[in-house]
Amino acid sequence: MSAATSTIDPAEVAKFEAMAAEWWDPAGKFKPLHMMNPVRLDYIRSQIAAEFDRDPTAKRPFEGLRLLDIGCGGGLLCEPMARLGATVVGADAAERNIPVAQLHAEQSGLDIDYRHTTAEAMAAAGEKFDVVLNMEVVEHVADPLAYLTACRELLKPGGLHLCSTINRNAKSFGMAILGAEWVMRWLPKGTHDWNKFITPDELYDLIRRAGMEPLDRKGYVFNPVSWQWKISDRDLSVNYVTAAVAPV
C-alpha cells in the first residue's frame, strides 16, 4: 500500500466517536476493556520487560522507551504505560477520543502526547517507536494488512508489536456478540462485526506478511464464576493477544 492510503473504516470510527464520553466510566460502554485491563497490563508489562531486559517489578521499568498506543481510545493503556516510565504517544482515528484522553491524563498528572491521526500518517512522517501497542483495533480497520504494515514501519529495528483482537468462530459469536452485546449489554449492539474477527493463525500470517516475526500468543479467558479474566496458554478461542518483533 502507499503510505498515504487510509486504513480507516469510517463506519467503525463513527461508532467510537459516538461513545467517546464514556471511556473512563468503568460501568459504561467500555466496561469489558476496564475489566480486562489488569490481565492486559500483566501481559504487556511482561512482554516489554522481557524484550528490553527490564525488571518488571521496578517502579518505572520502561524509562527511556518510546511507546505508541495506536487506536488508544480514551487512554486506558496509555496512562499505566506512562506511570511505568515510558514516553507515550496515544493516537486515534476518532477525533472526539482525543480531548477525553487529554483531560483525563491532565487530571491524573500524566504527560501523554495524544494525537488525532492514523498509523499510516505517522509512518509517512517517519515516526519511530520501541513499542507499538495495538489493542483491540485491527478488527475495526478497513485493511488489516495495510494497517499492520504501517504499524511495522513505525517500529525501530527490533521494536516490539503487541496486538490483541477477537477470534472468529461460533464461540466468539456467542461470547463477544450475543453474550457481550445482546445478553450482558456490556457493549452497544453492533459494536463488533463478526466477519471482521481474525483467527490467531490468520493474524500470525498477517503479522509475517507485514514484515514482523511473531514471538508469542496467549488467550484472555473470562471466568463467569470469579468474574475475572485470566491469561491462558491454550485457550485462544475468543479474546487473544500476540507479540511480534520488527527485523533488526
Ligand X SMILES: C[S@@+](CC[C@H](N)C(=O)[O-])C[C@H]1O[C@@H](n2cnc3c(N)ncnc32)[C@H](O)[C@@H]1O
What cell does 217 get?
Answer: 500468543
* Spatial CB neighbours of 237, under 8 Å, sequence gap ≥ 6: 167, 169, 171, 172, 219
Q: Give yes or no for a contact between 17 and 6, defined as CB atoms under 8 angstroms apart.
A: no
What cell does 27 get?
Answer: 460501568
Helices (H) and strands (E) in the chain, counts: 8, 8
Find the binder of ligand X among 48, 68, 76, 243 (CB under 6 A): 76
Select the span of 137-145, 174-182, 208-216, 227-235 touching ligand X (CB under 6 A): 137-145
Contact flags string 102-121 toward ligand X, x per CB under 6 A: ----------------xx--
- 222-231 burial code (b ≥16 CB/10 A, e <16): beeeeeebeb
122 binds ligand X per the rule CB under 6 A: no
Find the binder of ligand X among 16, 62, 114, 186 (CB under 6 A): 16
Select the span of 51-59, 91-99, 107-115, 208-216 touching ligand X (CB under 6 A): 91-99
Amino acid at 159: G
Closest residue to ligand X using C-beta atoms? 71
79 binds ligand X per the rule CB under 6 A: no
Cβ closer to ligand X: 135 or 236? Answer: 135
Is 111 known as a binding-site position? no
Cβ 105 to ligand X shortest distance, Å: 14
Amino acid at 44: I
CA dist 49 to 16, 41, 65, Å? 31, 12, 11
94 binds ligand X per the rule CB under 6 A: yes
180 binds ligand X per the rule CB under 6 A: no
Q: Give yes or no for a contact between 28 and 188, defined as CB atoms under 8 angstroms apart.
A: no
What cell does 109 get?
Answer: 498528572
Find the binder of ligand X among 65, 67, 68, 77 (CB under 6 A): 77
137 binds ligand X per the rule CB under 6 A: yes
What residues make contact with ligand X under the rule CB under 6 A? 7-8, 12-13, 16, 33, 70-73, 76-77, 92-94, 97, 118-119, 135-137, 140-141
